[in-house]
Every structure is written in C-alpha cells, then in structure tokens.
Amino acid sequence: MSLFVSGASIKIVIEHLRNVLNSRRILHINDSRMKVSAVLLPVFFKKGQYHLLFIQRTERVKNHKGQISFPGGAYEKADGLLLNTALREAQEEIGLAPKDVEVLGELDDTLTATSNYIISPFVGVIPYPYNFLLDKWETEELIEVPISALLEKGCFSEGITQQNGKEINTYFFRYGDRNIWGATARILKQFLEIINNL
C-alpha cells in the first residue's frame, strides 16, 4: 500500500517522496525543434487525504483549449531555470506564490503529441486552504482530485489514437465526469507509479 493512502504522518510521507524523487535519474529531452515548458504538480493535504490540484484551461488559450492540465507553460529567458518557469506560471494562472511551494523534486520530461512542447514536470507541496486567484483568460476552474481516487482500479485506461498519421499510445484517467488525458495523463501516470511504490 502506498504511503499516500496508508495514514502515515504527513512529514514521513513528504520526506520519503522527496528522497525518492531526488534519488532518481531524470530523463531530459533535448530537441531544438521543440518548445520548452514546465508544469507544477501541486500536492496538498485536505480532510485526511492527499490531493493533486489540476486546472481546466479556458477555450481562449492558444493551445490545449478546455483541457485539464497542471499549472504551467512556456519557458522564458528571464526564468533561468525550468523550475522557475513552473513556479511563475502557477503564480500567473492560479495566484500561487512561489514562496508557498515546497518543491520536492522533478519527474521525467514528457512530449506533447500535437503542440510541439517538451514539458518538465516538478512536484511541490502547497498549503491548504489557500487563497487562489485565477487568471480568467487562461484558467476556467481549479479541480481538486484525491490521490487515492486516481489509484483506484478502473480510474485508468489506455488506448491508441491517430495523430498526423501515426499511432500513439494514449492514457486516460477518469474522475467523476472529468477526463484527464494527453501529456497530463502521461505525467500523472509517471507520478502515480512512483508514489504507488513508496
């Protein structure tokens, strides 16, 4: 049983996850033809359970309209580090101050299938409750999902989709009437595999 659903103390769980993330060899993808980006996986503790915070993008954004994703976006030179990209974008999209994020580590880079991005995902613990402030241009709403629900049998499925004439393995997570898919689902699958072995 994962520590995330075992009832172990918050301090023990967070420190164990930090140690596991920092002991991994991280896969970085370098491809000058692709755009570089980063996202934050915000983890928080609410009503006795660990949760992940997702956003639903508006129909106004350029890419990934209406999709469920983690807060994040494209790298800018002023960021310096990709971690700073993830933190800046989280602040812009949901009003989460960088000082309020306890960064635990990094996951492997992930590619988007259609928008030509390399995504570097970072895991961070955030306080809850929190006074989020949504950028209404980019963020339609916040979605709080218990990690235990994502680990339930039947939540996850996979299939094959066609993208530009190529067959691509696609992952899906279902939470209530919400579908998490695409690059976000690939990042989520990687994270859940890690915590399922804690």
Q: What structural domains and CATH numbers belong to the chain?
A: 3-196 (3.90.79.10)
pTM over cut 0.85: yes
- The residues pairing with 170 across neighbouring beta strands, listed in sequence order, are 159
Q: Smallest Cα–Cα separation from 160: which of 152, 169, 150?
A: 169
Q: Measured between alpha carbons, how far apart are the two ends of the chain, in Å? A: 8
pLDDT value of residue 60: 66
Mean pLDDT of 78-106: 98
DSSP 82: H
| 18-24 average pLDDT score | 95
pLDDT in tens, 125-173: 999 999 999 998 889 999 999 999 999 989 999 988 766 677 778 899 9
**Cis amide linkage into residue 121, ω under 30° from 0:** no
Q: Cβ atoms within 10 A of the Cβ of 158, count?
A: 11
Predicted local confidence at residue 84, as pLDDT: 98
pLDDT > 90: what percent of the chain?
Answer: 76
Residue 198, SS3?
A: coil
Question: How would you class 34 by CB atoms within 10 Å of its CB: exposed for 0-12, middle for 13-18, buried for 19 or more?
Answer: middle
- pLDDT at 193 exceeding the cut of 70: yes
Q: What pLDDT score does 160 carry?
A: 81
Mean pLDDT (the chain) is: 91
Query: In this structure, are residues 46 and 144 in contact, taking their beta carbons and an 8 Å threshold?
Result: yes
Q: Return the percentage of the chain with pLDDT > 70, whole number.
A: 93
> Which residues are CB-neighbours of 112 under 8 A, at least 6 positions away?
64, 119, 182, 183
